[in-house]
Amino acid sequence: MPESKTTRKRVLITGAAGAVGQGVRPLLLPRYALRVMFHRTAAPTDPDEEVVRGDIRSLDDVRRAVAGVDAIVHLAANPHVEAPWADALAINIAGTYHVYEAARELGVRKVVLASTNHVSGYYELEGQRWVTPEMPVRPDGYYGASKAFGEALGRYYADAFGLSIICLRIGSFQPRPQDRRHLSTWLSPRDLAQLTWRAIESDVRFLVCYAISGNTRRYWDITSAQRVLGYEPEDNAEEFAGELEQSTEIDMTDDFDAPLPEDVLKTFEAG
């Protein structure tokens, strides 16, 4: 880690008021100088965080947010599995284009895209468990399809313009697993923070990898994250198996852009 604040890379986080943003920002702040982008919803900030306001749907707003940073962690999206086409198009598709294009114009070489397991969601819906990043995409809705577009557009910007684009297919991001499915799909805050900083620091031109913790029952392949980024998961949902195996509720959503409830925020603040 850098020795002083003056040597830290400046990193922009879009969608910083969402659950992922609030969950990982405190864990990234010791390592980076963070610029956080809010739209209508704001969240508590650290005195060391720089706050910018803007709409991801506006290329001019994104340019202003991107100017002067070393890397971008792009979280802003409508993350609901059943997001309507209008939101998927304007926020997820056009918004991701704005981030890549602003990065290209302003010379920012690194973008970490918050993609989703719903890019391949139909494999799971049809009962196929083991899925790797190399398999053809099979989105389970407009949301998943919009993130598949973000991955493909990232491949183009990497090849055509030399950007380094790392796409993290985020699983079930929670402070702790909540149901039986999460025994396979859980992603803890500190494991996502590790994946994020490893992606920022990597010199890889382009990569797609699943972002989950080291769950014993995982059925998404995290080999590329381990081999290419050096990812070493610290958490395993199996620790919670005893209390979750009897659960009948299955949560397929990825509401990681929604503001966190107050009790969850206190969990993060308590470490």
Cα 198 from Cα 209, distance rounded (Å):
12
Q: Which residues pair with 26 in a beta bridge?
A: none
- Pick from 49, 60, 58: which is nearest to 13 by CA? 49
Distance CA 151, CA 130 (A): 20
Q: Which of 100, 123, 142, 143 is catalytic?
A: 143
Walk across the sheet containing 10-14 and list its strands: 50-53, 33-38, 10-14, 71-74, 110-116, 164-170, 206-211
Cα(121)–Cα(99) distance, integer angstroms: 25
The crossing angle, in degrees rounded to 10, of helices 19-28 and 262-269 is 10
At 88, give phi and psi (nearest 5°): -60, -40
C-alpha to C-alpha distance for 54 and 211, rounded to whole angstroms: 27
Annotation says 32 is catalytic: no
Contact 1, 61 (CB under 8 A): no
- What are the residue ranges of helices labelled H in the chain? 19-28, 59-66, 85-87, 94-106, 121-125, 142-161, 182-185, 189-201, 223-229, 241-244, 262-269
* Active-site residue list: 143
